[in-house]
Every structure is written in structure tokens, then in C-alpha cells.
Amino acid sequence: MKRLGLTQRVDVISDRDERRDALDQRWQQIFAPLGVVIVPLPNSALAPELLLDGLGLNGFVLTGGNDVGGAPDAANIAPERDAFERALITLCLERNLPMLGICRGMQMINVALGGTLARTTGHAGVTHEIRKREGAAWPGSWPNPWRVNSYHDVCIPLASLAPSLQCLAQSEAGDVEAFAHDSAKCHGIMWHPEREVPPRAEDLDYLTTVLEL
């Protein structure tokens, strides 16, 4: 049985003076049928290689929530999460480990590899159409175009994509909705597979493919 490390959002509980790491329970529900144990990772200064080696992890998912520090008009930021995920991205690239960024996680990978972000409107709490980029090798079986859920107000314009990333799918406005690294086992999507109930077969096929499950 494979083990995937999942990063967590940071929730600030002001009246208790707490910063809590949190993970949507639906992640376990989507991965359990794939024979995967998920391991929530703490947002700490602990070196990610200690978690990787100590817990026997086979890959990583950078989940949603929080704005990436430095994004335009960023709010609800979590510097400790940014630092941990940057170190984790570096480790995955060095060891050629499967890594998938979801929404904010996708944005974090882009920024860590030299890309930038922009604000967008009309993409929070809706569904919208996306289309495969012409000539892109899509890792999975999807119709074209297709509809995805959307919970973000920060986007990756095509011109802002990091040099080492290849756009696989775009929104109606042309923003990047899915990418793949040009040489590493690194992927990103802007929608949330875990928020589809029941999970979509196409999402499960995609997760199985890019995370080598």
C-alpha cells in the first residue's frame, strides 16, 4: 500500500491564539479506494527529507487553501507553509518523486519554479469550462472541452507560467488550468478532485497516473 504526504492549510484561531494545520477529510475518501494511505504533513521547520524517509512516503500532494505569499493582494497567508512547501518542491525535484499541486498547491509550484500569479474574478464557488491546449500530452482520459469546479481568485496567466512547466489545459480566459513539468514527475491542476461527490472516474484516473499509484 502506497503512502502519500499531503500538505495542509493553516487556519488561524485568534481567540485561542492558535495556528492550526488542517486537511479536508474528503482527501482520505478519494484516495482510500485507490489503495493509498494519506499522511498529513505539519507546516514546520522540520526538513521534509526527514518526513519522506522516516514515513516511507511515495509521493506528495500540495493541497489548497491560503494565498501564496507574494501573490497580488494576498490575504490569509501562511509563511510557515510557504517555506515548508518550497523545501518540499525542491526535494521532490531532486529525488524525482511524484508531486501534484492542487489549486494553491499548483500556484506554489509555479512560483517556486520562477513563475508569477495574478488575480482573477468569477472563479470562486462556480464551475466553468476548460480545454486541452493544442498539442499537449494529457495524462488521462478526458473529453475536450470539459467542466471543472473552481474555488480560486488567483490564477496563472499563460505568460506567467514558469519556464520549466508546460501548459496542458486552459480556462476560457486563457489562464493555465493544468500543467506538467518538462522533465520531472511534477503536475498541477487548478480544480479540486476531492470536492466531487462521488469522485469522478476521470479524476481518479488522473491521480493514479500522475502519482504513480
User: Exposed, middle or buried: residue 120 (CB in 10 Å: 0-12, 13-18, 19+)?
Assistant: middle
pLDDT, mean of residues 68-88: 94
Share of the chain above pLDDT 90, in %: 84
When the pLDDT of each residue in the chain is averaged and rounded to a whole number, the result is 94
pLDDT of residue 37 exceeding 80, the answer is yes
Q: What is the pLDDT of residue 80?
A: 96
By percentage, how much of the chain surpasses pLDDT 70?
99
CATH architecture of structural domain 2-210 = 3-Layer(aba) Sandwich (3.40)
Q: Residue 12's closest CA among 76, 84, 108, 63?
A: 76
pLDDT on residue 24? 96
Domain ranges of the chain: 2-210
Measure the CA–CA gap between 123 and 131, rounded to whole angstroms.
16
Q: What is the mean pLDDT of residues 77-95?
A: 97
pLDDT in tens, 114-145: 999 999 887 778 888 999 998 887 776 778 89
- Residue 132: its pLDDT value, please? 92
All residues at 6 or more sequence positions from 135 whose CB lies less than 8 Å from its CB, including other chains: none
Q: How would you classify the pairing of strands 176-181 and 186-189?
A: antiparallel
User: Is the dihedral angle over the CA atoms 135, 179, 132, 160 positive or is it negative?
Assistant: negative
141-174 pLDDT, tens digit each: 778 898 999 988 899 999 999 999 999 999 999 9
CB 189 within 8 A of CB 99: no
Mean pLDDT of 14-31: 96
Q: With CA atoms as reference, report the closest residue to 188 among 160, 212, 211.
A: 211
* Strand pairing report for 18-22 and 36-40: unpaired
Rounded alpha-carbon distances, angstroms, from residue 158 to 128, 166, 167, 178: 18, 10, 8, 11
User: Residue 121: its pLDDT value, please?
Assistant: 82
Strand partners, 109: none
